[in-house]
Amino acid sequence: DRGSVQNSPKLYDVEYLMPVSLGTPSQQLNLDLDTGSSDLWVFSTLLKESMVNGQTLYNPNASTTSDKMEGYTWKITYGDQSYSSGDVYIDTVTIGDLTVSTQAVEAAKVVSEEFTADSDNDGLVGLGFGIINTVQPYKQKTFFEKAMPGLDSPVFTADLKAGAPGRYNFGYIDDDAYSGNITYVPVNSTDGFWRWVSPGFQVGSAGSFNSTRIHGIADTGTTLLLLPDSVCDAFYSQIASAEYEPSQGGYTFECGDPTVPDFYFGTANGQMIRIPGSYMSYSKTDTGSSRCFGGMQSDSGVGFTIWGDVALKAAFVVFDQGSEQLGWAEK
Ligand SMILES: Cc1cc(CN)n(C)n1
């Protein structure tokens, strides 16, 4: 079996949403595929109205195939301190023509203000490893873990694009979606993330390669590229107008600065993925400002590097849960 679904970026590529069908008759919600967490949760009719602001709500009572998991609950807090919690139902879930008939659907009863404010986002599909699923008393499998046994190949791929729709594929690798070869690196799933080690980086096409091992996770649910301070310093020192602005909470530079270089990160076997300098202008710092917030920021608040959408949209990425490895290709 296999599946394929289009993803669509929101403004500034802050997140990528995909249509997902839940229940019978099907209820379609727009969800954020997040390889940095492992709960599938949705806005639901269990929420107080004050917590809802335009989102589409999953109504388990309107689904003839939903079964409440009595006594089961969930509660999750993300790296950006947003959070949600609620009850758990088993129901059918379809993503890109791939159906899991008995998926744990975590119906929200409480969501933090960040989620309420994000009216296009109806919830998340966590495709990290199930070991960090938050359902109590017994953790639940991710959508991919439930689907995996029936798939042609135990992989899903992420093709995120800058300012354009891309695609998530399940169970196969589309050889027309990338150029050159896919280079695989080992993944350590112990803490539930797609954690891998980059051998180093290079600033600019004429720069030298810095061999420094960078431990980090591939996280489709994080917008920016969060790297060690030493790497950020090496990058922003090449941009004339760049400075660290504590009031903005990070590195900024003049939006039109012509000296913004490309950034390359190593994968394996000498392969590097090139992130165009244009991806590093994340957004204007304030309305009418000429300064842009950098797409690369420090990972000092996290403890490890996060290869978020700014990096992932420069590549075709294979999440191989069958052999616990990540595949990287240019495109
Ligand atoms: C809601 C959400 C998801 C993620 C990445 N895993 N963050 C940082 N916030």
pLDDT digits (tens, 9 = 90+) for 5-57: 999 999 999 999 999 999 999 999 999 999 999 999 999 999 999 999 999 99
Strand partners, 312: none
Strand ranges of the sheet holding 250-254, from the earlier edge strand across to the other edge: 243-245, 250-254, 291-294, 281-284
Distance from residue 170's CA to the centre of ligand 1 (Å): 21
44 exposed, middle or buried (CB, 10 Å; 0-12, 13-18, 19+)?
buried
How confident is the model at residue 189, as a pLDDT? 99
Q: Is the CB of 309 under 6 A from ligand 1?
A: no
Distance from residue 222's CA to the centre of ligand 1 (Å): 5
Count of C-beta atoms within a 10 Å radius of residue 4: 16
Q: Is the CB of 82 under 6 A from ligand 1?
A: yes
- Identify whether 25 is preceded by a cis peptide bond (ω within 30 of 0): yes
Active site residue 323: no
Distance from residue 189's CA to the centre of ligand 1 (Å): 18
Question: What's the average model confidence in pLDDT over 178-206?
Answer: 98
How confident is the model at residue 170, as a pLDDT? 99
**DSSP one-letter string for 12-71:** GG--EEEEEEETTTTEEEEEEEETT---EEE-BTTS-GGG-SSPPPB-GGG-TT-EEEEE
Two structure tokens written together for 92: 């059918």
The pTM (predicted TM-score) of the whole model is: 0.99
How confident is the model at residue 327, as a pLDDT? 99
Distance from residue 126's CA to the centre of ligand 1 (Å): 10
**DSSP one-letter string for 183-222:** EEEE-B-TTSS-EEEEEEEEESTTSPEEEEEEEEEE-TT-
277 Rama sector, left if φ>0, alpha if ψ -120 to 50, beta otherwise? alpha
How confident is the model at residue 289, as a pLDDT? 92
Active site residue 34: yes
Q: Is the CB of 37 under 6 A from ligand 1?
A: yes
How confident is the model at residue 101, as a pLDDT? 98
How confident is the model at residue 264, as a pLDDT? 98
How confident is the model at residue 309, as a pLDDT? 98
| Banded model confidence at residue 4, pLDDT cuts 50, 70, 90 | very high
The 10s digit of each residue's pLDDT in 85-140 is: 999 999 999 999 999 999 999 999 999 999 999 999 999 999 999 999 999 999 99
How confident is the model at residue 143, as a pLDDT? 99
Q: Give nearest CA residue, ligand 1 atom 5.
A: 221
The 10s digit of each residue's pLDDT in 48-84 is: 999 999 999 999 999 999 999 999 999 999 999 999 9
The 10s digit of each residue's pLDDT in 273-309 is: 999 999 999 999 998 999 999 999 999 989 999 999 9
Q: Which atom of ligand 1 is nearest to the CA of 37?
A: 6
Question: What is the predicted ipTM?
Answer: 0.96
Distance from residue 112's CA to the centre of ligand 1 (Å): 13
Q: Is the CB of 222 under 6 A from ligand 1?
A: yes
Question: What's the average model confidence in pLDDT over 216-227?
Answer: 98
Q: Among 78, 195, 226, which residue has the most ligand 1 atoms within 8 Å of its CB, making it the best to mutate?
A: 78
How confident is the model at residue 311, as a pLDDT? 98
Question: What's the average model confidence in pLDDT over 249-255?
Answer: 97
Catalytic residue (choose from 32, 34, 39, 159): 34
How confident is the model at residue 84, as a pLDDT? 99
Q: How far apart are CA 161 and CA 148, in angstroms?
A: 25
